[in-house]
Structure 1
Amino acid sequence: MAMSAVLHRHYRAERAISGDGSTYWVVVNEAFELHTEACAWLAGRKDWSYNTQRTYAGRVALYLSYCTEHGMDWTRPSLAQLMAMMRWLIEEPLPAKGRRPAVEPRFRDKGTANKIMGSVGEFLTWSALQGWVPQTVVSVLVQPRFLHHMPSGFDPGEDGQHRTINAQRIKYRVAVPGYEWLSDAEIEKVLDCTTHARDRFLVALLAVTGMRIGEGLGLRREDMHFLPDSTSLGCRVEGPHVHVRRRLNSNNAYAKSPYPRWIPVEAQTVELYAAYRYERDAVAQAESCDMVFVNLFRAPLGEPMKYPSTYELFKRLATRAGFRARPHMLRHSAITRWLRSGVDRDVAQNMAGHQSPQSMDPYTHATGQDKRDAVKLVAAKRKEARP
């Protein structure tokens, strides 16, 4: 039996439901017994979103399973054992999706391996604070590193004492990925590839508002204030807009930011919503659902759309368009467009739902057109300066 299949039988992440109906993630073994330390670590991360908690639960479950398979004490891993796990992460084929075996084996990339080991390091460091893991293990995980180039907003301290940080020791060298975004022409291409009013409205809404996909799927009809005057709805915001709020939703859609916000929309977005409502009203099962985006073409009809089906939708749109098109790329496109159009950073930050001003820095990246325009500008000025 493949090792990956055995590992999944040892520990895995499972969704749990509390007495008040809220959902959270735990780590269990094959007998559905809770891993006490891992569950305590996850329970203490109240500031994490639902999906972030799910990701970290899966990574820690993978580490615990690896330890079980290789006879390791998870509380006392050596540097050699952790480095062996790093190699295993990229060399061991991933299990096939679905029932059919994959034609070509799939592997994790080095960036994913770094993220997994980073999560393992956070878990072990926290466990050391609880007295469950020796401090000598933590010293293996990190090494001091002096920041020669400080990120924007970083406080080095009066004497530069904060410029030496603890950096992850066990990791692969990988290129820093750039932010992927779509041009206006590419967004129009994706819109042209949609075949239903619902899908067209979803793409347009994400592109205009810069919402995260979890925020979009978590919208309810009461959040759509598309009238010129929303006073009758108890809202004083002028013009058509949409409200984004964090809630517990049956489809597990989750707003990352805990702070509610509203985002204005264009007249075209309102028109697309009207077309979608007409399409939706033709499905009787959708009438009683308060969520905005629901299943209209596949069972269960009328139920809220979920992450897996939404990502499958975007995969189909990307195939038709002929280029990568993921939901988060539309968010990057919206924020990039705001900043390039001269929108104040504070306003863009508020609409994006970012808590930190530094979160806006990646969206000020230079494109190939920016560089070409810069060269043309310098050449034009030289030409003007010639006698």
Structure 2
Amino acid sequence: MRVRRVVGSGKRQETYAVVDDDGQVVEIVDDYLAVCTDREYSPNTIRARAHDLKIWLVFLRMLGIDLLEATPEHVDQFAGWLRRPIPAGGLRAVEADDLPGREASTVNRALDSVWMFYEFLARRGLGMGLHTGRVRPARTGDHRGFLAGIAAGSVTERPTRLKETKRRPSTLTDSEVQRILDSCAHLRDRLLMSMMFETGCRVGQALGLRHEDVNTDQRTITLRPRDNNVNRARGKSRDPKQIPVRQTLLELYTDYLFTEYGELDCDYVFVSLWDGNGATPMSYWAVMSLVKRLRRRAGIDFHPHQFRHTHATALLRAGVRLEVAAELLTHSSTRTTSDIYGHLDTDDVVDELERTGFWGAR
């Protein structure tokens, strides 16, 4: 059983299907993924759901359970199996390295995919639709609408969900960022790393950038969601976002155009210049290959998304309002920004105690 990339309907040109061992599309799953495609979900989201449902089908086949006969108890077993893939009812001796196979957040994503699939089936009168959610009283910290407080509220939640440990996003120090930039052998590479650090944009947003998106007069770049990027670069935002940038970044962009880009006939800002393929848009694979080289040169084990974490953390530490930070990070809401980056470490606590004079007053 595997997941295949196929042509989608409607606006989306790319979607996914689950194929069984005989090469046949699993139709009932395909119906659900087709609805996700018609609703114009991101291809990355559809791919993730397709992989989650493929694993669910593999698990049910291992138990000898039909897709429509599954119960909430089987979903509970599925959660345990994802964490530690031992056949249901199987026993074996505990080993020293017997750690969970998947993080709780990964398991919860798969569980959400399964519950949403059965909610779709419930509208057809199939499966365990009546058991896909349970209602509980609203608690502090739940997302609440503008009418909250007028009447007693309630929240519908998934029956099976693992407790996740909230971790502080990993960031880079200023000296580490400088070492990475100094390790870049080309202006293109330095511009790419600098842009992710100074704007907090995602790799996909940077790779999809066109020259028309760079406005040197207004000193801005516009991150536009596009479905037709030939390098399959994607950003999560649905709407264009205009991001202010510093003059030094624009000067680096200009130097890159005159020194390395030259007279290339290409709309994309970041292109593969030295791999013999001509002026083709830079791919995710090319970025990760570059990152591996920079890791060796700088002696720093980093990931491109750490630039985004570093930028976001610096914004909030500098006192930038949450709604402004959310706009700059192209988040759909301030809740997303707060949930991911609303953290304090020891240094933040010490700085605040010293700023308020709390320690000096005691």
User: Which TM class, normalised by the smaller chain length?
Assistant: 0.7 to 0.9
2:185 is the counterpart of 1:195: yes
Name the structure 2 match of 1:368. 346
What is the rounded CA distance, in whole Å, between the counterparts of 1:27 and 1:295 in structure 2?
33
Deviation at 1:51, TM superposition (A): 1.6
Deviation track 1:271-307 (CA, whole Å, cap 9, x = no partner) reads 221333245436x8xx233212122233544222222
Q: 1:1-387 residue pairs with structure 2 within 5 A?
A: 10-16=1-7, 22-45=13-36, 46-92=39-85, 107-136=101-130, 139=131, 141-151=132-142, 156-162=148-154, 165-226=155-216, 228=217, 239-248=218-227, 249-278=229-258, 280-281=260-261, 287-298=264-275, 300-318=277-295, 320-362=297-339, 363-376=341-354, 377-382=357-362
* Structure 1 residue runs without a partner (length 5+): 1-9, 94-104, 229-238, 383-387
Structure 1 CA distance for aligned equivalents of residues 134 and 295 of structure 2: 42
Q: Closer, same or farther in 2 for the Cα pair 1:321/1:107, shift >3 Å?
A: farther
Q: Is the 8 A contact 1:240 1:264 kept in 2?
A: yes
Q: What's the CA shift string for 1:20-75, capped at 9, x where partnerless?
A: 78222233334443333323322333352222222122111221233234422112
Partners of 1:157 and 1:33 in 2: how far apart?
Answer: 52
- Cα distance between partner residues in 1 of 2:324 and 2:204: 21
Q: Deviations over 1:340-378 (max 9, x none)?
A: 334343333322222323223133322321111234431
Q: Distance in 1 between matches of 2:344 and 2:123?
A: 42
For 1:265 and 1:299, the matched residues in 2 are separated by: 32
Cα distance in 1 for residues equivalent to 2:12 and 2:72: 42
C-alpha spacing 1:380/1:346, structure 2 compared with 1 (3 Å):
same
Residue identity opposite 2:25 in structure 1: L
CA shift, 1:329, in A, is: 2.4
What letter is aligned with 1:373?
D
Give the C-alpha shift of residue 316 in structure 1. 4.2
Give the TM-score taking structure 1 as reference length: 0.77
Q: 1:308 to 1:89 in 2, by over 3 A?
A: farther
Do the aligned residues in 2 keep the contact of 1:13 with 1:58 (CA within 8 Å)? Answer: no
Amino acid corresponding to residue 221 of structure 2 in structure 1: V
Report the counterpart of residue 6 of structure 1 in structure 2.
none
Map Cα deviations across residues 192-221 of structure 1 (whole Å, 9 max, x no partner).
232322221111111112212211111112
Quote the Cα distance in structure 2 between the aligned partners of 1:256 and 1:294: 21
8 Å CA contact 2:220–2:245 kept in 1: the answer is yes
When residues 358 and 79 of structure 1 are mapped into structure 2, their CA distance, relative to the original with a 3 A threshold, is closer
Percent of aligned pairs sharing the same letter: 28
| Aligned equivalents of 2:266, 2:19: Cα separation in 1 | 33
CA distance in 2: counterparts of 1:204 and 1:291, whole angstroms: 17
Distance 1:174 1:152, change over 3 A: closer
CA contact (8 A) 2:79 2:111 kept: yes
> Distance between the aligned counterparts of 1:132 and 1:309, measured in 2?
45
Q: 1:151 to 1:195 in 2, by over 3 A?
A: farther
Query: Taking structure 1 as reference, are residues 289 and 62 closer, same or farther at Cα in structure 2, changes over 3 Å only?
Result: farther
1:147-191 superposed Cα distances (whole Å, 9 cap, x missing partner): 4322465554523222xx233333433312223333333322322
Distance (whole Å) between structure 1 residues aligned to residue 225 and residue 342 of structure 2: 28
Deviation per residue, 1:302-329 (Å, 9 max, x gap): 2222223323433443455455532322
CA RMSD of aligned residues (A): 3.0
SS at match of 1:125: helix
CA–CA separation in structure 2 for the residues paired with 1:225 and 1:319:
34
The residue identity in structure 2 corresponding to 1:131 is G
Could you tell me whether the CA contact under 8 Å between 2:135 and 2:157 is conserved in 1? yes
Distance 2:55 2:249 in 1: 43
- CA shift in 2, pair 1:178/1:26, >3 Å: same
Equivalent-residue separation in structure 2 for 1:318 and 1:381 (angstroms) = 46
Deviation sequence 1:107-136 (CA, Å, 0-9, x none): 433332222122111211222123232334
Supply the AA of the counterpart residue of 2:237: S
